[in-house]
Amino acid sequence: MTETLDTGTIAAASPFDLAAPAAYAAWRDAKLSMAPRGLDDLRVGIRDPARLSEAEKTALDHHLGRANMALFRFAQPPEDVEHALLELGAQFGLDRLDRNLCAHDTGITAITVRETGTDKAYIPYTTRPLSWHTDGYYNAPERTIRAWLLYCDADAADGGENEVMDHELAYIHLRDHNPEFVRALMAADAFTIPANDEGGEQIRPDQTGPVFSVDPSTGALHMRYSARSRNVIWKDDALTRDAAGVLRDLFSSPDAPIFRHRLAPGEGVLSNNVLHRREGFRDDPTTGHKRLVYRARYYDRVRPVV
Ligand SMILES: [Fe+2]
């Protein structure tokens, strides 16, 4: 990786250790000094997703290293989109896909308005907005989502913009506010996602865990979050409530490092599971505008290739 942040060296103090303020300060300075101003700064054109050029790899790597995300655009639509996305991910070490209930055999999910065949309308498959979250916040720890890839095959007639925020910048915001907020949100019982029951059958039990955690194998910061209040039961103490409030307020702050972008057909985002949301939208299939976004979720972070 050409330019990266040292978050993984075992011997060095972790910047995410509250007992290592010097390591945090050095990491924070480096992080902020290379922060992009918007997704346009993170744009990479891709000629052939199955065989990235060295320049394309280096650019993607650079952006992921500094912002945990990159915006890519294919020179032409692939004949087999799902296969092309799998090949793109594989070049970054992404081959362990999370197969959710709605995924295809490839492990990739087509996010479009559809009947899900269940007794609940899952919001991703409607035209409704999606609030801030990281992917897999309801998953058990062994199915932690550390990276995802979105690719726009067709856009909506109106709306459907995405907003993204590097979760490491959310961490910095909280820690600068009050390091005790970080401590509260790193607690193993910081919040609980209630069980998912369908047709009287429990398809997922309660999941309790931290918002922020550090992956012991890579030293990287992981974030687990949903802004949907009905999805989340916060630990009932003042510090946790205050920390959750500061995080929630960040999303509506005019100074927040939020990048807004409406994916055009042929564009996508590759990320280390950064925070994101989606605006509601309107389809108009008669003019070819039925929003279709493919999504792959991975158990590993994007692996540097250079
Ligand atoms: Fe998501």
* pLDDT tens digits, 41-88: 999 999 999 999 999 999 999 999 999 999 999 999 999 999 999 999
φ/ψ of residue 166, rounded to 5? -60, 120
The CA 239 to ligand 1 mean position distance, Å, reads 27
3-state secondary structure labels for all residues of 188-240:
CCCEEECCEEECCEEEECCEEECCEEECCCCCCEEECCECCHHHCEECCCHHH
Say what the pLDDT of residue 1 is. 44
Quickly name the fold that domain 21-298 has: Double-stranded beta-helix (3.60.130)
The CA 276 to ligand 1 mean position distance, Å, reads 6
What is the pLDDT averaged over residues 213-234?
A: 92
Contact 148, 303 (CB under 8 A): no
Taking residue 146's Cβ as centre, other Cβ atoms within 10 Å add up to: 23
* pLDDT tens digits, 111-161: 999 876 665 668 899 999 999 999 999 899 999 999 999 999 999 999 999
| Calpha distance 233→84 (Å, rounded) | 39
Which residues neighbour ligand 1 (ion) by CB within 5 Å?
Answer: 135
The CA 181 to ligand 1 mean position distance, Å, reads 24
Domain positions in the chain are 21-298
pLDDT above 70 for 6: no
- pTM for this predicted structure: 0.93
Parallel, antiparallel, or unpaired for β 201-204 and 196-198? Answer: antiparallel
The CA 69 to ligand 1 mean position distance, Å, reads 14
The CA 25 to ligand 1 mean position distance, Å, reads 30
Say what the pLDDT of residue 288 is. 86
φ/ψ of residue 71, rounded to 5? -105, 120
| Calpha distance 41→63 (Å, rounded) | 8
Give the three-state DSSP class for 19: coil
Say what the pLDDT of residue 2 is. 45
* pLDDT tens digits, 239-286: 999 999 999 999 999 999 999 999 999 999 999 999 999 999 999 989
Per this entry, what is the length of the chain? 306
The CA 169 to ligand 1 mean position distance, Å, reads 18
